[in-house]
Structure 1
């Protein structure tokens, strides 16, 4: 299958509802096997992904999201919590072996936080692009209580929540009309 920019960007839409079609374990493994190759600074790879599918886990997540996101999470075959491991630098001896990159982050909480947030956000975007390339629809969202999600899903870990994205086959009847985007001359500068 030849993918086009249109399939991944201009024709793809954020989803508000999903068809009752499951997403297989194989597809989730394939999704991660694809997105993990997207670049991050110093190959830091701080994102951690919690694929929420079971009824109990879904209910725990529903309890954490805003009312406008409740049905999206309920209908989606999978919701992915994109987290950021605040101890990602402990993996750097393996992931970035040609320099002592771990030492750059030890006792540098501001640098750790900005690096984890920036790069896990990139990895979350790679997840969306890879999902669309693999034929899944996505619904990224930020309407949730991050502390509550952390407690429910990352308790006793070094991971904090960045954002949530629903996955599945979207119900096109629930997609809103396309909103505009800023034109080049309002969003870009040529220097």
Structure 2
């Protein structure tokens, strides 16, 4: 494997930004499918794929999500072309016979709710990061956020799926670069890293 082109690295990392404001350019259903088709290829432990995604494209769905968020984030959600709920299925193990068929991975999690919860959180977080990178790779921008009531989101979107819990939320669209401020600092390697 060889390193990707510097322009691709810039699009994915060094020049990419999180956005609070978007242009009026629409995001299509085909775009959402394309994001999923990339993000699902990212590795998760034992191919667990615990993330459950709600793509809020209608004004009604965005308003329902905005009602669960802080005032500042609620405005971002309402104004974005798409808002996204990245949730996690604590019963992901039920799908492992299909998703990880070469061994009995389901048995690792049967009867162990604590292990399932930890693994669902870890791996759905990875999938949420893959969503961000897939969107960037496809020429879209995101604005991942906290600042919401997870229990309220669960009630609003997953009341019929008690094993599904919200991890985090994000906005999605074509970022309005005119609204960007300076990039926040990124520390040098030696500050937060240890080579043992």
TM-score range, shorter chain: over 0.9
Q: Which runs of 5+ in 2 are unaligned?
A: none
- Supply the distance in 2 between the matched residues of 1:109 and 1:19 (Cα, whole angstroms): 43
Q: Is the 8 A contact 1:17 1:71 kept in 2?
A: no
3-state SS of 1:82 partner: strand
Name the structure 1 match of 2:50. Answer: 46
Instruction: Give 2:68's match in structure 1, choosing from 60, 64, 68.
Output: 64
Q: Deviations over 1:84-125 (max 9, x none)?
A: 001000000000111111111111111101100000000000
Q: Is the 8 A contact 1:18 1:72 kept in 2?
A: no
Matches within 5 A, 1:1-191: 4-157=8-161, 158-191=163-196
Tell me by how many angstroms 1:139 deviates: 0.2
- Supply the distance in 2 between the matched residues of 1:186 and 1:66 (Cα, whole angstroms): 33
Q: Which runs of 5+ in 1 are unaligned?
A: none
- Supply the distance in 2 between the matched residues of 1:104 and 1:182 (Cα, whole angstroms): 39
Tell me by how many angstroms 1:173 deviates: 2.4
- Supply the distance in 2 between the matched residues of 1:46 and 1:174 (Cα, whole angstroms): 34
- Supply the distance in 1 between the matched residues of 2:57 and 2:147 (Cα, whole angstroms): 19
TM-score by length of 1: 0.97
- Supply the distance in 2 between the matched residues of 1:174 and 1:71 (Cα, whole angstroms): 15
Tell me by how many angstroms 1:68 deviates: 1.7
3-state SS of 2:160 partner: coil
The number of residue pairs the alignment matches comes to: 191
Tell me by how many angstroms 1:156 deviates: 1.4
Q: CA RMSD in A?
A: 1.3
Runs of 4+ deviating beyond 3 Å: none
